[in-house]
């Protein structure tokens, strides 16, 4: 590496490396608040892990 680039660094961050799609949240309301009738949306997935993403960084410390 050249002398002027002694503080140069390249970094890569990979998030969700295996692209897992696990459920992170579900509907927790089991019945209608007014009538008490059971809801068919109970425990239906609402949120999932974010897809795989990659971040490239260049850093120079002087």
pLDDT digits (tens, 9 = 90+) for 10-58: 999 999 999 999 999 999 999 999 999 999 999 999 999 999 999 999 9
Number of domains in the chain: 1
Q: Cα–Cα distance between 15 and 60 in angstroms, integer?
A: 23
Q: Cα–Cα distance between 32 and 35 in angstroms, integer?
A: 6
Q: The tokens of 56 are what?
A: 């490239």
pTM of the model: 0.59
Q: Provide the residue range defining the domain that includes 45.
A: 3-60
List, in sequence order, every residue forming a beta bridge with 13; answer none if it has no partner. Answer: 55
Is residue 1 pLDDT above 70, yes or no?
Answer: no
Q: Cα–Cα distance between 62 and 4 in angstroms, integer?
A: 9
């Amino acid at each position: 590496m050249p002398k002027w680039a002694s503080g140069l660094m390249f970094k890569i961050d990979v998030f969700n490396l295996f692209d897992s799609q696990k459920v992170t949240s579900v509907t927790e309301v089991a019945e209608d608040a007014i009538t008490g009738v059971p809801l068919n949306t109970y425990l239906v997935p609402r949120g999932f892990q974010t897809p795989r993403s990659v971040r490239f960084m260049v850093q120079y410390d002087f």
